[in-house]
Structure 1
């Protein structure tokens, strides 16, 4: 086909395109390779042990008078997402990060797939 264009007098350009990996980019980034993390390992634990000790904090959220609680129906989740939800909620509960509630407020949960294939749980607070 190129030969046909050359016979018609068209300009033809030849290009050879290859991929080249950048130096140092072929290795996956690891947290251990970051100098600040390596120098202060006690500040960056592998796993969080739990919540810090409870402290008395005076805090209050002032609501607009007469405002009704917002509670949205949960989104439908596929079976793998339901399994992931149970695992993540159990882990959060075991570590003391979450506890049961009977609050009239509520928002649906959804999952976002991370680059490594695992799921990040997100809460949709939009109305």
Structure 2
């Protein structure tokens, strides 16, 4: 199993405190079902979201300098709705597995299994999807085969 260690410089705890009431009641029976877990965090600077589904919006990111006119071909980080678009991408690529053995929150992915036998396959499926979509986990923020994990500020 893989667990992401929170970076003390991240603003995640502040955000988690704002949504704590929502998350606490969202999945009340989740902890009883979990025996083994994996989480991962996407690597910064991994392949950005392609222009393909967003090609109609390329002109909206255009800017002009004295050196010329430029348009982003990939979604730049820092745009107001970039996190929402990335969340939508993650939900779309993991749709088949969401709440079966995967939970995603922006770039945090939690993979859980009821047994070690199931857990032989679940991380492979998730990592294969990452590979296919050119999204990569940051290995230094991963831990494996945990019975308990801190995810979005909660111990699960």
TM-score tier (shorter):
under 0.3
Higher relative contact order (CA 8 A, sep 6+): 2
Greater strand share, structure number: 2
Larger Rg: 1
Greater helix share, structure number: 2
Query: TM-score, with normalisation over the residues of structure 2?
Result: 0.22
